[in-house]
Amino acid sequence: MSVLVFVEGLNGEIKKSSLEAASYGSQVAQQLGTTATAVAIGEVHEEALTKLGEQGISKVLYDADDRLKQFVADAYVKVIAKAAQQESAKVLVFSNSNIGAAVGSKLAVRLNGSLATNVTSLPKTDGGQFVVTRGVFSGKAFADVALISDVKIVAVKKNSFEAAHNAGNTATVEKLSAELTDADFAAAPKETVMQDSDGGVLLPEAEIVVSGGRGLKGPKNWHLVEDLAKVLGAATACSKPVSDMDWRPHHEHVGQTGITVSPNLYIAIGISGAIQHLAGVNSSKVIVVINKDPEAPFFKAADYGIVGDAFEIVPKLIEAAKALDK
């Protein structure tokens, strides 16, 4: 019986959030006195799969069916369920991503399992229990949840755990076939649009995000966000009012009803910081807020705050970043 970790790929590599989930899964396996196995789907380089050994994964089951290059929930669920059955896995670990949440909930139904999302702690297993802590109320509180079903499914909050790097450790890779049929792809999306910033950085995976709000006064001033993002190698984002006014496309909207991000650095320019926006960014490791209103709510959540005019401050930041890059 092993702990099974579902890892997501992007451009042939393993996503950072999945590396964190793999490290989490391997630590859970150590607690339970067993090993951690990963299941990978779609187009991932074999070197990236073997390197999962650095996160404590001993074996990787890989289904390379070409149809799995595009996310289809029912097909992914069938593959992961097959891997869980093969490994007799009773603990399944995912990243708390859009894909992880969708697949995790379906697996909980299929396997009659208990599901905890947004998990921020390793389980407490004293007395035969399996209790995890998860963020609730948009990250404003935490709840201890006992998973009581035989199968336990955990979706790990991004940036809650460091991805281990035990250099030299490798995982073995084995082929997996879930014997997928056309029926498993009946609910496949007709079109998938992958939007990125000018620098080619996908917003959900970005390590640095530069975001703008109504304080920029109009789309004609958005070059400030784009120029700072370009020099930092960052993705660009915006608040909901900005996308509602069509200053920026909806796929850049970050918040409770938009995209959730968890970068190492989130820079908010001219954003007041309503709770709906904070819900989408509170997993960021460091938050920097630039706003001329010293009473802006965002300052309460910021690690660093700059009170002042963005039209004066941002150009200076751009020049300082350029100087450091030389």
Question: What are the structural domain ranges in the chain?
Answer: 3-185, 203-325
pLDDT of residue 198: 47
282 annotated binding-site participant: no
Question: What top-level class would CATH report for the domain 203-325?
Answer: alpha beta
Q: Is residue 277 annotated as involved in ligand binding?
A: yes
Q: Is 239 annotated as a binding residue?
A: no
| 67 labelled binding-site residue | no
Q: How far apart are CA 240 and CA 305, in angstroms?
A: 21
| CATH class in words for 3-185 | alpha beta
Neighbours of 63 (CB within 10 A): 22
Beta bridge partners of 146: 131
Is 203-325 the same fold as 3-185? yes
Q: Is 272 annotated as a binding residue?
A: yes
pTM: 0.84
Q: How far apart are alpha carbons 155 and 5 in whole angstroms?
A: 10
Residue 274 assigned ligand-binding role: yes
Q: How far apart are CA 13 and CA 254, in angstroms?
A: 25
CA distance 127 to 136: 25
Q: Which pLDDT belongs to residue 199?
A: 45
Is 273 annotated in some ligand binding site?
A: yes
Neighbours of 117 (CB within 10 A): 19
pLDDT per residue of the chain (326 residues) written in tens, 0 to 9: 789 999 998 888 999 899 999 999 999 999 999 999 999 987 899 999 999 999 999 999 999 888 888 899 999 999 999 999 999 999 999 999 888 988 999 999 999 999 999 999 999 998 889 999 998 887 778 999 999 999 999 999 988 888 888 878 899 999 998 888 889 888 877 665 555 544 456 788 889 999 999 999 999 999 999 999 999 999 999 999 999 999 999 989 999 889 889 899 999 999 999 989 998 998 899 999 999 999 999 999 999 999 999 999 999 999 999 988 76
H/E stretch holding 78 = helix 73-87
